[in-house]
Amino acid sequence: MADKDGLKTAKDYHTDTPFAAQGDFHVKGANHLDWGMKKHLSNIFDRDTGKTVMFAFDHGYFMGGTAGLERLDLVIPPLAPYVDVFMATRGALRTCVPASSGCGVALRVTSGSSMLDDDLSHEVVAVDIEDAIRMNADCMAVQTFIGADGQLSSLNNLSRVINAGFRYSIPTLGVVAVGKDMERTDRFFKLATRILAELGVQIVKTYYCDHFEEIVSACPVPIVVAGGKKLPEEEALTLAYRCIQGGACGVDMGRNIFQSNHPVVMAQAVRKIVHEGWTDKEAYRFYQDMSH
């Protein structure tokens, strides 16, 4: 293991230089993967834009029912035409989401904590690879806790899921968790995203922060950005715009869509930023016009 002392500060991110190993496949870092992996990644990332609108409603896996998700059966289906991927638990998907929705699936496969715990960083792999195959999941989402008490077990979970995913050509989405004791700095996100990518995930989900474009440059797989807590719609659209401008390959928004007063319009507005090159201001005008 390299000596931790006297480390030089990383600085050569070449943020203006495109990823050099893209080849002819539209998903970053995936050019050397096999056909099955590429097929799943193509169900997630649009072939024309290379981007994705993921919609996260997996909150119930540790929060139970939360505001905006009281009735999954009513809230989720109308959003399907406007998002590319549903990120959810198998329980939510099987009970409340029509298999004919047309959306890709990012299946939450870890669990083990609840809102009643002080420390949320201890999880297990709760879904067998066979069930991910049965559900035709396009990727398996694993929560990771770099720098937290549960770091070792969460990286063990992640590695086991990645290994199973490679056996059956199902990509793994590594989710960077932030908790009360974990930083939200570019230093932390550079560390966490790179650890996940080097362990073998095909997609990383993380948060937006200053110097985001350096995090993207140093991460050899696509980054999708979590929405985080509910913001006013205008600010949430600015966040989405900054992420895409900074090189994110999409967003994975939950509360900023399902807790909006107009979730369907909000999903449409986010989609225009991600796939159609709209600015945050244009998207917000659209949101205002359509929500009256």
Helix, strand, or coil (residue 204): strand
- Return the exposure string of 112-126: e unless at least 16 CB atoms fall within 10 Å of the residue's CB, then b: bbeeeeeebbebebe
Shortest approach of ligand R5P to residue 86 CB, angstroms?
A: 12
Nearest CB to ligand R5P, comparing residues 22 and 264: 264
Residue nearer to ligand R5P on the CB measure, 62 or 278: 62
**d(Cα 129, Cα 285) in Å, to the nearest integer?**
44
Active-site residue, from 51, 205, 229, 272:
205
Specify the residue, 56 or 162, whose C-beta has the smaller distance to ligand R5P. Answer: 56
Binding residues for ligand R5P, rule: CB under 6 A, are 56, 58-59, 143, 175, 177, 226-228, 253-256
Region of residue 250 (left: phi > 0; alpha: psi -120 to 50; beta: else): left
Q: Which is nearer to ligand R5P, 38 or 59 (CB)?
A: 59
CB 214, min distance to ligand R5P, A: 22
Least Å distance, CB 7 to ligand R5P, is: 30
205 is catalytic: yes
- Least distance in angstroms from the C-beta of 292 to ligand R5P: 25
Tokens of 116: 């009643």
Identify the CA nearest to 60 among candidates 90, 98, 40, 29.
90
Helical ranges in the chain per DSSP H:
35-44, 60-63, 72-75, 90-96, 129-134, 151-168, 186-199, 212-218, 233-245, 255-258, 263-276, 280-290
DSSP 8-class letter at 141: E
Question: Which residues have a catalytic role annotated?
Answer: 205
